[in-house]
Structures are given as structure tokens and as C-alpha cells.
Amino acid sequence: MREFFMAGGRRLSYLDFGGPGAPLLTLHGHYNEGAVFAPLAEALAPRWRVIALDQRGHGESDRAESYDRGDYVGDVAALHRHLGLGAVAVLGHSLGGVNAYQYAARQPDRVSALIVEDIGAVVDVDWSFTSGLPRRAPSRAELVASLGSAAPYLECSFRRADDGWGFSFGIEDTVASQKALSGEHWRDWTAVACPTLLIRGTRSDELAAGHAREMIARRAGGARLVELSAGHVVHHDAAKEFAAAVEGFLAAPG
């Protein structure tokens, strides 16, 4: 079910997949929106109730003037307050992964378990792909053709408008967000106190194997690493294995 709430004067949206299970807040990456976690929600039901935020500038949520780190973390906190929940498990991919571990670090009493999908404590984003995305295509088929092998990873964000096909995110907004994401975030990563699972794709072009191992080592036993045969978007490339890893960790996070 799609829901809306207000945060800082703007309207944000989320999908609540429902069910009797314990809540799991999920945060998507750039180019995506909450709907990308629908297969995971189905795989985890009924034990887990997935709640997937459309982060600012994505999906059905409003665009924003700022995409700084504190803005994203504040939106997660606002959703959490809106839901009226106690401590919850939080999962994030890429952009959402940094947002997730920064929220866990800054609101330690609000996060009971953390899952970070294929993003590091040091991030250096190349936004040339984003800058080259088509603003509009005459048809869905032509949009897919222009994206090539990247199309399956962006399709949940395809939108039809009066002047053709495009995306549910703004290209300039995404570049601004990617620039703000880049940097060193070790302080937040090492401050996380809750049980943590880091999931890495073995073919990832974002999270190197050595960096993932350093992240685990710096957490002094407070985190574990799972590597799956996938690229950067592990939940897409290895959906069943990803869901199994998430479910197994949440069943016994300590």
C-alpha cells in the first residue's frame, strides 16, 4: 500500500507491503525507488513487514533543494517517527546503504539490526553515467534501447509523461545527490553499535573486496560479510540468495 507523509515541508512517499511480521525499513539506491524491494518483501513475508521509502527526489516523493547527508538521514528519522515504531531493522542499498548506516550511527536506540548492500565507508561516485542519461525518449522501447544493459536496473523508475518517457528521478538532482554522497564516512560506519550484515557483489564495481574486509575489521566483531555472485545491485542479480542472506541474518543477528 502506498502512503504519504510530510517531512520538512515536503511530501514523501513509501510502500508498506504489510503483513503481521516485524518491520524492516528499506532504502533504495540512486535511479530507483521503494518498489525495487517488492521481490524482497514477497520473499520475506510473512515474518517480515517491508516498508520501503521513496527517498527525496525519487519515485513519488517530492524533489528537494538539498541532497546532503543530513537531509537523507533526517528523512529516515521522519519516516520512523511517522510510523510510530520502536527500534527496527534497516536495510539500504548503495545510496540507501550509507543513509542506513549513518542513521544507525546517529540514532543508535532506533536501529536493532543493519544490512548494508554493496557500498563502502569511502565513496567516490562517478556521475558521468547520470549526466548522460536521456531526458526523454519517444517511447518506452527507445528508452530501454538507449540504456542498453543498464535498463533492467532502472525500469522500476520509468515514467510516461506528455512529452515522452523518462524517469521518476531528476537527472540534475541525482548528480547533486551523488556529489554529496562522495566522501569518507568511516566515523559513522565505526560508530554503529547494532549487529550488521554487509553484502557485497563479487563483480561489484562499487565496493572492492579489500575495502569490504577493512570495513568488517574496523567494526571489531560487530559486523559480518556475505559475498554473492552479483554486480553492484545484488538484490537484482542474485535475488534468491540475497533474500536468503537477509532472512538468515535477521533470524539471528547477534
Give residue 118's identity as a one-letter amino acid code.
Answer: D
Give which of 187, 185, 188, 249 is closest to 223, Cα–Cα: 249
- Bridge partners (DSSP) of residue 196 are 114, 223
Each domain of the chain, given as residue ranges in start order, spans 2-134+171-251
**DSSP strand pairing (22-27 vs 88-93):** parallel
DSSP state of 137: B
- Please give the pLDDT value at position 222: 82
Q: Are 162 and 184 within 8 A, CB to CB?
A: no
Give residue 171's identity as a one-letter amino acid code.
Answer: I
Judging by beta carbons within 10 Å of its beta carbon (0-12, 13-18, 19+), is residue 205 exposed, middle or buried?
A: exposed
Assign a CATH topology to domain 2-134+171-251. Rossmann fold (3.40.50)
Rounded CA separation 50/182 (Å): 28
Give the CA dihedral 181, 155, 203, 134, nearest 10 degrees.
-60
Q: Are 223 and 216 within 8 A, CB to CB?
A: yes
Rounded CA separation 24/52 (Å): 8
Give residue 230's identity as a one-letter amino acid code.
Answer: A
Note down pLDDT in tens along the chain; length 254 residues.
999 999 989 999 999 999 999 999 999 999 999 999 999 999 999 999 999 999 999 999 999 999 999 999 999 999 999 999 999 999 999 999 999 999 999 999 999 999 999 999 999 999 999 999 999 999 999 999 999 999 999 999 999 999 999 999 999 999 999 999 999 999 999 999 999 999 999 999 999 999 999 999 999 878 999 999 999 999 999 999 999 999 999 998 87
